[in-house]
Amino acid sequence: MDVDVGAKLRALRQLHGLSQRELAKRAGVTNGMISLIEQNRVSPSVSSLKKVLDGIPMPLAEFFALDLAATPAVFYPRAEQVTVSALPFERQLLAATRTPRAMSVTRDCLAPGAASGSGFVVADGEAGGFVVRGRVELIVAGASRVLEPGDGYYFSRALPHLFRNPGREDCEIIGAVSTARL
């Protein structure tokens, strides 16, 4: 399989909103080198290409596996949503099949008296969201607050946390969780 390294690098650089000069600065190479690679006037060594890709940043293997012609889905109809847990704590994950991902967007529903789990959770990344309907008690590192529709939250998931519905109606939350380490 022939890979047009120059065209792929140019498309990737533009996708990240970088000029040749900015990428060169980040990678510690000359902008002339970036230009020559993109024009396919030089074929970079593996180590040179890795150095350039470190300026984006992107692993070498991901660069060669990347299919820039494939357009990732943007819209996800209700019928394509994936439910990853059921009531009394139901979680739907948006774009479950999309990879790689830097975050997970969820719709959480907690039945009255339900909690997000049997105990406190500690994980990597950050979490944020809004209460859409009902009420939810959020406990983070010992601090507790009951949130109502329109209220929001944002915290490091490294802190022990738990969601609990203290109300008499279902609670609905739209949230996001980063999957990257902080």
Please give the pLDDT value at position 182: 38
Q: What is the band of 181 on the pLDDT scale with cuts at 50, 70, 90?
A: very low
Give the E-state strand segments of the chain in sequence order.
82-85, 89-93, 103-110, 126-133, 136-140, 143-147, 152-156, 161-164, 171-178
Give mean pLDDT, residues 139-146.
96
Q: What percent of the chain has pLDDT over 90?
A: 49
Which tokens go with 7? Answer: 């065209």
Q: What is the band of 18 on the pLDDT scale with cuts at 50, 70, 90?
A: confident
pLDDT averaged over every residue in the chain: 87
pLDDT tens-digit profile of 34-91? 999 999 999 888 888 999 998 888 888 888 877 776 667 788 888 777 887 777 888 8
Please give the pLDDT value at position 100: 67
What is the rounded end-to-end Cα distance, in angstroms, of the chain? 37
Domains and CATH numbers, the chain: 5-65 (1.10.260.40), 78-178 (2.60.120.10)
Check whether 101 has a pLDDT greater than 70: yes
Q: What is the band of 140 on the pLDDT scale with cuts at 50, 70, 90?
A: very high
Q: Measure Cα distances from 173 to 38, 49, 77, 106, 149 in Å.
A: 46, 44, 18, 8, 9
pTM higher than 0.85 for the full model?
Answer: no
Which of 149, 146, 116, 113 has its CA nearest to residue 131? 149
Please give the pLDDT value at position 99: 65
pLDDT tens-digit profile of 43-55? 888 888 999 998 8
d(CA 124, CA 129): 16
pLDDT tens-digit profile of 110-121? 999 999 888 999
